[in-house]
Structure 1
Amino acid sequence: MNSNSRSSTSIELAKSASATSKQVAPTQVEGVSRNFFLLTLQQIVLRCGWIFKTESIIIPAVLDLIAGSGWVRGFLPILGRIGQSCPPLLYADRLRHLPLKKWSLVGTSLGMAAAFGSLAAMFIPGVDTAIGKTAMVVGFLWFYFLFFCATGLNQLGFGTAQGKLIPPPLRGRLMLASNVVGAVIATSLAAWLLPKWLYGNTIEVHWIFGFAAFAFMGSALSVVGLHENRDSSQASAFSPKRLIWQSYRVLQDDHRFRLVCIIAAAFGFSLMLFPHYQALARDRLDVDLSRMIFWVIVQNAGTAIFSLLGGPLADWKGNRLVLRMMLFGVMILPLGSIFLVHSGEFGIRVFDWLFLFVGITPITFRAFTNYTLELVPAELHPRYLATQSLCIALPMVLSPLIGLLIDLTSFEAVFMGVTVILFGGWVMTYYLVEPRHEPGHHIAYGEMDVDPDDEV
C-alpha cells in the first residue's frame, strides 16, 4: 500500500469515527461541571497516594535497602513502563466498547490499592525477616509490576473518560486544577506524615506504602458518581495479534502521530534515569535517607508550579507548545545533576532544587495525552493513547543495562548520553502540527460549543 492510499485510509477512518461522535455528542454535553469536579478530585486523591511512592525517590531508595545494586534498581523503569504500556494496548479495544468508562477507572484504582497494600504488608516488622532477602526483592518487583499494570489501565481509562466527558477547551484547566491543588494537599500530607515514618536512615515502609494504598482506594470511590451516558457498541473477538497489528498500522498510516511517538520514545529514555537521581545524590553528596522528605516536597511543588504554566498555556496556545517547553525542562535534569555534583558546595546547596524539574514529568505525560486527544476523533482515542504509551515504554527494555552501565562506567557517561537523545526529541517538536490550527479540530464533540471562560 502506498503512502497516498494509507493516508486516505486514515482520513476515512477518522471521518467515520467523527461521524459517530457527532451522533452521541449532544448526550455527552450534560454534566460537564460535575464530571470536571469528580475527575479533578480523582486526580487529587491519586496524587496524595502517589507522593508516598515516588518512583524517582522513595521506591528506589527502599529497593536499595533490600538489594543495593544498580542493575537491580535498573529493573524499576522497565517493569513500570511495561506495566503501563502492554496491558493498555491489549485492553484499549475493550475499553472503547465499554458502555460506562467510569467503571474501568474504579476497578483499576482498586487494583493499584491492592498492589500497594500487598507491598506494605511485606514490610510489616516480623514479616520482612520471615520472608528473607531474596524473596523480598522478588516480591517487591512483582507487586511493583502489578501496580503499574493497574496504573497503565487507569491512565488509559482516565484519558478515555476525559476525552468523552471533558471538552478540549477545559482539559488544560483540569490539568491545572488537579495538579496544583493535588500538589498542595499531597505536599502538606508528606510534610506532616513522612517525618514520622522516615528519619535519619530509618524508614518505616509499611506505614508509607499503607497510606498510599488507602489514597488509591479513595481515588476509586471518587469517580463512582460520574455523569456518563452509556455507549452502545459491540467489541470484536479478543486477539492480541490483531491489536498489536492495529497499533503498527496506526504508526504506519498516520505520519503526524508517528512523529509524536518518536518524540515520546525519546522522552522514555529520560524515565530510565529516575531511580538513579537519588542514588547519585547519596553516592556523591553523602546525604542520608531523611533528605528524601525535602526532595519529595520539592518534586511535587515543581508539579504545581509547572501546572500553573502548562495548564493555561495549553488552553490558550495548544498542547504542542506545552509539550515543547516541558521536554526542555526534562532535558535539564540529567545535564543539571551532573553539573551540580561537580560544583562543590554550590552543588550541595542547590542539588535539592533540581527535583523541581522531576515534577515536570506528570505534566509532560498529560501534554502527550491531551495533544493526542485533539489530534484524532474520540472513537480512536483508546487505540492511539495505548500506542503512544507503548512507544514511551520501548526504550525501557534497556533499563537494566542502564543500571549496569552506571555500575561499570559512571553516572556522567550515561546521563550525558540520555541528554543527547532528549535534545533530539525536543528539536523534533518544532515539526509537530498544532491540531487547533487545523479545520474541524473540535469535530470529536460534534456541535458542542464550549467557551473556555465558562465557569466549571
Structure 2
Amino acid sequence: MNSNTHPSTTIESAKPAPASSNPVSPTQVEGVSRNFFLLSLYQIVLRCGWIFKTESIIIPAVLDMIAGEGWVRGFLPILGRIGQSCPPLLYADRLRHLPLKKWSLAGTSLGMALAFGGLAAMFIPGVDAAIGQTAMVVGFLGFYFLFFCATGLNQLGFGTAQGKLIPPHLRGRLMLASNVVGAVIAIALAAWLLPKWLYGNTIQVNWIFGFAALAFVGSALSVVGLQENRDNSQAGVFSPKRLIWESYSVLRDDHRFRLVCFIAAAFGFSLMLFPHYQALARERLHPDLSRMIFWVIVQNAGTAIFSLLGGPLADWKGNRVVLRMMLFGVMILPLGSIFLVHSGEFGIRIFDWLFLFVGVTPITFRAFTNYTLELVPTELHPRYLATQSLCIALPMVLSPLIGLLIDLTSFEVVFCGISAILFGGWLMTYFLVEPRHEPGHHVAYGEMDVDPDDEV
C-alpha cells in the first residue's frame, strides 16, 4: 500500500484472490521444506530461551523480590503489550516493503537478546547492591519494556515471513512441530538447569536471564539460511498519522476483521492476570520459590499438549475452531484458580497443574495470527497483524489498576470480573466466518502456489 492509497480501497483489495494454476517445480517444494525446517528450528531455539523468562511465573516473582507491591507488578502486562503493539504498528509498512523478511526476524531476535543481557547484568552479585532498590525496579521495567518492543517487532516479522514462505495448509503443522519439539527440549533444559539456579528461596537471576539471552542469539542465527525471494516494492513516506488512520480504516471497513479484533480485545483482558497467578499461589498456598520450576515445566508442557490438539485441527478444520477452543481454556483459567485456592488440601495438590492452561496462551496468539493470515491476501498481512496486536493491547492500559484493585479488594473480585469479559469474547467466536471455506480461498504465498498434497 503506498502513501497515496485511500483507506477504502485497502479493504476492497482484501478479498481472496483466485488460486493460480501455475505448476509447482521441485525447487519450489524443496524451498518450502527448507523454510519449514528453519522456521521450526527458529521457534524451538526461541522457546528454549523463553522458558527461562516466563512472564507469568519467573518475571513477576523476580520483580516481587525487588519491589513487592501488586500495583508495581501490574505494570508488567501494560509494558509488555504496549511494546508488542505500538512499535509493530509503526513498523508494519516498512516491513511490508523490506525485500527479505528474514533479516527483520534475525535483527529483532538479537534485540531480544540484548534486552535480556542487560537484565542479567543488573543481577550480577555486587551490581544489584550498587544500583539500589529504586534504580533496580526502574531498570528492570525499562529492560522488560525494551525486550517486548523487540518481541512485538519479532512476532510481526515471524507472522509476515510465515505468510510469505509457508502455505496455509502447513501452518498448523508448523505450530505443532515447533511447539511440541520446542516444549520437550525447553522442559528438559529447565529441569536440568533451573535447579542449579533456583533452590529453596534462593534465585540466581543473572544466570537464568543470561541463558535466555544466549538462546535468543541462537534463534537469530537459525533464520539466516531461509530461502526467500526478494520483494520489489517501494515504501512510502513514513507518517505515523497515516499508519494509525490505515489501522482505523481497516477496523471501520472490514466487518469480518472488526469482529476478530473485538475478540482479541477480550483476550487482552486475560493477559493482565498472568503476573498475578504466581502471586495468588504464593500468598494463599505459601510454596517455596523453587516450586516455580515445576510451574514453568507444567506451563510449557501445556503448550505442547494443546499444540498436539490445535495444530492438526487447524489444518483439518481451520483456525476458527482452534481459536474458539483455546479461548475456552483461557476463560476457565481465572475461575479455576479461585476455585482451587478455596478447596483446601485438594486445591493445594491440584493448583500446580492449573499452569497447564497458562500454556494455552501461545496457541491462542498463533490461532489469532493464522486466522488473520487466511482472512486477507499476503500484501496486507503486516497491516492487519499490527492492528490485531494493537487491539489485544488496548485493555492493558488498565493493568496497573488491576494490580491496585487486587491490593484494595481481592483476587476473587478481579479474576471473576475478567472471566465474565472472556465469556463474552468466547461467545463472539460463533459469529466468525471460516476463511478456508469461502469461495475463491487461495493458498498462494509469495510468488508461487503450492499443491496441498505436497508434503514437507
Shorter-chain TM range is over 0.9
Equivalent pair of 1:86/1:390 in contact (CA under 8 Å): yes
The equivalences for 1:81-120 within 5 A come to 81-120=81-120
Equivalent pair of 1:7/1:254 in contact (CA under 8 Å): no
Structure 1 partner of 2:321: 321
Distance 1:392 1:28, change over 3 A: farther
Task: Tell me the CA shift for residue 402 of structure 1.
Answer: 0.1
Structure 2 partner of 1:3: none
State how far apart, in whole Å, the 2-side matches of 1:7 and 1:398 are: 30
The equivalences for 1:52-451 within 5 A come to 52-442=52-442, 444-445=444-445, 448-451=449-452
Gaps of at least 5 residues in structure 1 are: 1-5
State how far apart, in whole Å, the 2-side matches of 1:455 and 1:432 are: 29
Equivalent pair of 1:299/1:356 in contact (CA under 8 Å): yes
Task: Tell me the CA shift for residue 450 of structure 1.
Answer: 2.4
State how far apart, in whole Å, the 1-side matches of 2:30 and 2:86 are: 33
AA of the residue aligned to 1:129:
A
Distance 1:107 1:286, change over 3 A: same
How large is the Cα RMSD of the aligned pairs?
1.9
State how far apart, in whole Å, the 2-side matches of 1:179 and 1:443 are: 23
Task: Tell me the CA shift for residue 451 of structure 1.
Answer: 2.3
1:53-96 per-residue CA deviation (whole Å, 9 max, x = no partner) reads 00000000000000000000000000000000000000000000
Equivalent pair of 2:84/2:153 in contact (CA under 8 Å): yes
Equivalent pair of 1:160/1:381 in contact (CA under 8 Å): yes
Taking only the aligned residue pairs, the percentage that are identical comes to 87
Equivalent pair of 2:7/2:250 in contact (CA under 8 Å): no
Gaps of at least 5 residues in structure 2 are: 1-5
State how far apart, in whole Å, the 2-side matches of 1:224 and 1:33 are: 15
TM-score normalised according to structure 1 size: 0.95
Task: Tell me the CA shift for residue 221 of structure 1.
Answer: 0.1
State how far apart, in whole Å, the 2-side matches of 1:100 and 1:194 are: 37
AA of the residue aligned to 1:173:
R
State how far apart, in whole Å, the 1-side matches of 2:50 and 2:31 are: 28
State how far apart, in whole Å, the 2-side matches of 1:425 and 1:210 are: 38
Task: Tell me the CA shift for residue 18 of structure 1.
Answer: 4.7
Equivalent pair of 2:100/2:229 in contact (CA under 8 Å): yes
Equivalent pair of 2:299/2:358 in contact (CA under 8 Å): yes
State how far apart, in whole Å, the 2-side matches of 1:21 and 1:136 are: 56
| Stretch moving more, 441-450 or 391-400 | 441-450
Task: Tell me the CA shift for residue 332 of structure 1.
Answer: 1.1
Distance 1:84 1:77, change over 3 A: same
The 3-state SS of whatever aligns with 1:289 is: coil
1:413-451 per-residue CA deviation (whole Å, 9 max, x = no partner) reads 000000000000000000000001101221544772422
Equivalent pair of 2:264/2:391 in contact (CA under 8 Å): yes
Equivalent pair of 1:28/1:229 in contact (CA under 8 Å): no
AA of the residue aligned to 1:415:
F
Structure 2 partner of 1:455: 455
Task: Tell me the CA shift for residue 288 of structure 1.
Answer: 1.3
Distance 1:114 1:286, change over 3 A: same
State how far apart, in whole Å, the 2-side matches of 1:449 and 1:8 are: 31
Distance 1:9 1:192, change over 3 A: same
State how far apart, in whole Å, the 1-side matches of 2:448 and 2:165 are: 14
State how far apart, in whole Å, the 2-side matches of 1:287 and 1:307 are: 29
Distance 1:199 1:229, change over 3 A: same
The equivalences for 1:1-40 within 5 A come to 9-10=9-10, 12-14=12-14, 18=17, 31-40=31-40
Equivalent pair of 1:83/1:145 in contact (CA under 8 Å): yes
State how far apart, in whole Å, the 1-side matches of 2:88 and 2:165 are: 20
How many aligned residue pairs are there? 448
Distance 1:46 1:192, change over 3 A: same
TM-score normalised according to structure 2 size: 0.95
AA of the residue aligned to 1:390:
L
